[in-house]
Every structure is written in structure tokens, then in C-alpha cells.
């Protein structure tokens, strides 16, 4: 029987939205306050949803200790209290939350058992969030 | 298609224990949740139904009806109960959040199917931990 298990994590990080292919003016027009040269930060909430069979012995889709270990090692340790623009993933990629969400999905897909990662949701503030789903 | 969700909360206690395992194995897998004296949570149950709004009422389903159904089928059975010791479905099944979501679906689905389609049941054990069930094969 398939069910889904979800867990929320918080990470605090800074970023600046700036596209190298756009002029200074175009950057300001596209990103507004997010283009501030010195960057700014958010408390991001990362919600991870895994899906799979509920194991008869444990009643669990996945032990949350294992999920915490994977998300901790691959995502929280990497991005928490960091400047996203300086992460190798964002050298040539604007660290919008769309791109962060997709990056987190990719990192976790590699770390979790095949086929289990169903969706990653990243909340940048209380009022906006982004989701990336298994194709 | 419109998805409509009703939320309800209940408080219950539970513990995780597999009778087929040694005490050591239970402790290793379930950690603090294996304490046989139990512990409790404020659970939040989210019930999502899917359908088209009725042309006369504009409702996918009457929310009062859904509220009463949740109250009768789930809250009366689980609220302020010890899930392992007082509920039929967890006498032999470990009341993990996953299994609670599945059990809530089974309690609600037959009555909801007569009116509309049950799309999803989500159970929050804490604000950070939740499980979802979307029915067989979904």
C-alpha cells in the first residue's frame, strides 16, 4: 500500500538575484529589491515528500531518521547560513527559489532510494512557495 | 476540477512497537517513540475532496456535511484516545502517521464516495511531520 511521508526543514541563507546576461537596468527591472547588490536573506522552509510502500514491519514509508540524515547532509548542511550565490550550483544560475527548489530536488533524488522522492516544496516567505515534482 | 479541503484536529497518544521484534530492535528502529508508556500529539487531519461545483449551490460538497462526517467517523473514535489501546485499527497495526492517514481514508472514503471523490487525506503529527494517502495505487 503506497503512502506519502513529508517533513519540513528550515534553512537560513542569503541571495542576490542578478542575471549576467541582462544590463544593470534590466536586472533592476526584472528583480526589483532582490537585485540589491549586497544581497538579502530568507528563512527558507524546505518540505520534502517521499512516497512508497508502507512496510509491514515498521508501518513506515521511510524512517524519518534516514530522511533527516539525507536532507541534513545534502541540503541543510550545504545551504544553511550560506550565501547561495557562492555555491557552485549557482555560479552560472540565478538563485531564484525556483532554481533552489530544482537544485534541492536533484540533490535529494541522488541521495534517496530510487523512485521515492515525490516532491520538494521551498517556501521563501510565508506568502510564496515553489514546488518541484517527480517527472 | 476543484479540490476542497477541510481541516480538523484531534489529540491522541500512541507508541510504536512491533511485537515480533526484541526490545532492542524496537528501540533501535523506533527510538523514543517505542517508550511503552506512550506519548501524545496534537494531530491535524486534512481531508481533500475533488469535484465540480454544483450548478445550483456552487458547492463541491457541503462543508457542514463534511465537518460532521469527519467528527462522526474520525474524531469520535480517535480524539483523546490512546490509539494502540483503544482503537480497533491499531490493535495490531503500528499507529505511525502513515498508517493513521490510511486508516482515516478507510473511515471516510465510503461515505464520501456517495457524494463526491475523496482525493487525499493528510495527517500532521507535528507541524513539521505529515503523511498522505491518496488511495490504492495513487
Q: Which three cell numbers stand for residue A19?
A: 542575471
**Touching check for B131 and chain A: CB below 8 Å?**
yes
Residues A114-132, mean pLDDT to the nearest whole number? 95
* B93/A61 CB distance under 8 A: no
Strand partners, B82: B13
Interface of A with B in 90-119 (CB under 8 A): none
Residues with Cβ within 8 Å of B68's Cβ and at least 6 positions away in sequence, in order, are: none
pLDDT at residue B83, as a whole number: 97
Name the residue in chain B with its Cα closest to that of A5: B131
- Which of the residues in chain B have pLDDT under 70? none
Question: Shortest CB distance from B29 goes to which of A9, A49, A63?
Answer: A63
The string of DSSP codes covering A91-129 is SSS---HHHHHHHHHHHHHHHSPTT-EEEEEEEEETTEE
Chains A and B form CB pairs within 8 A to the count of 59
**Touching check for A22 and chain B: CB below 8 Å?**
no
The question of ipTM being above 0.95 is answered as no
pLDDT at residue B121, as a whole number: 98
Q: Count CB neighbours of A12 within 10 A.
A: 12
Q: Are A60 and A5 in contact (CB under 8 A)?
A: yes
Superfamily of domain A3-133 in the CATH hierarchy: 6-pyruvoyl tetrahydropterin synthase/QueD (3.30.479.10)
pLDDT per residue as tens digits for the range A54-91: 999 999 999 999 999 999 999 999 999 999 999 999 99
pLDDT at residue A135, as a whole number: 78
- Per the listing, cell 463534511 goes with B66
For residue B96, report the phi and psi dihedrals to the nearest 5 degrees.
-70, 165
* B94/A63 CB distance under 8 A: no
pLDDT per residue as tens digits for the range A86-122: 999 999 999 999 999 999 999 999 999 999 999 999 9
pLDDT per residue as tens digits for the range A22-37: 999 999 999 999 999 9
Q: Are A3 and B98 in contact (CB under 8 A)?
A: yes
**Touching check for A126 and chain B: CB below 8 Å?**
no
Angstroms from B136 CA to nearest CA on chain A: 7
pTM beyond cutoff 0.90: no
Amino acid at each position: 500500500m503506497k503512502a506519502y511521508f513529508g517533513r519540513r526543514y528550515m534553512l537560513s541563507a542569503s541571495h542576490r538575484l542578478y542575471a549576467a546576461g541582462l544590463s544593470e537596468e534590466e536586472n533592476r527591472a526584472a528583480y526589483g529589491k532582490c537585485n540589491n547588490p549586497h544581497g538579502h536573506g530568507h528563512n527558507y522552509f524546505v518540505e520534502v515528500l517521499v512516497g512508497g510502500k508502507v512496510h509491514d514491519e515498521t508501518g513506515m514509508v521511510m524512517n524519518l531518521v534516514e530522511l533527516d540524515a539525507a536532507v541534513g547532509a545534502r541540503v541543510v548542511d550545504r545551504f544553511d547560513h550560506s550565501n547561495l550565490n557562492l555555491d557552485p550550483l549557482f555560479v552560472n544560475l540565478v538563485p531564484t527559489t525556483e532554481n533552489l527548489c530544482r537544485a534541492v530536488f536533484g540533490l535529494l533524488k541522488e541521495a534517496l532510494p530510487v523512485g521515492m522522492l515525490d516532491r520538494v516544496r521551498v517556501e521563501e516567505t510565508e506568502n510564496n512557495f515553489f514546488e518541484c515534482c517527480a517527472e | 476540477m476543484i479540490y476542497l479541503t477541510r481541516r480538523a484536529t484531534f489529540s491522541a497518544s500512541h507508541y510504536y512497537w512491533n511485537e515480533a521484534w526484541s526490545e532492542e530492535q524496537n528501540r533501535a528502529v523506533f527510538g523514543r517513540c517505542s517508550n511503552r508508556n506512550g506519548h501524545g500529539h496534537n494531530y491535524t487531519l486534512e481531508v481533500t475532496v475533488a469535484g465540480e461545483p454544483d450548478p445550483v449551490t456552487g458547492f463541491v460538497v457541503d462543508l457542514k456535511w463534511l465537518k460532521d462526517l469527519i467528527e462522526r467517523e474520525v474524531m469520535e473514535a480517535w480524539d483523546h484516545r490512546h490509539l494502540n489501546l483503544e482503537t480497533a485499527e491499531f490493535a495490531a497495526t503500528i499507529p505511525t502517521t502513515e498508517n493513521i492517514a490510511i486508516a482515516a481514508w478507510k473511515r471516510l472514503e465510503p461515505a464520501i464516495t456517495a457524494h463526491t471523490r475523496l482525493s487525499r487525506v493528510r495527517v500532521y503529527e507535528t507541524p513539521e511531520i505529515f503523511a498522505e494517502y491518496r488511495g490504492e495505487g495513487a
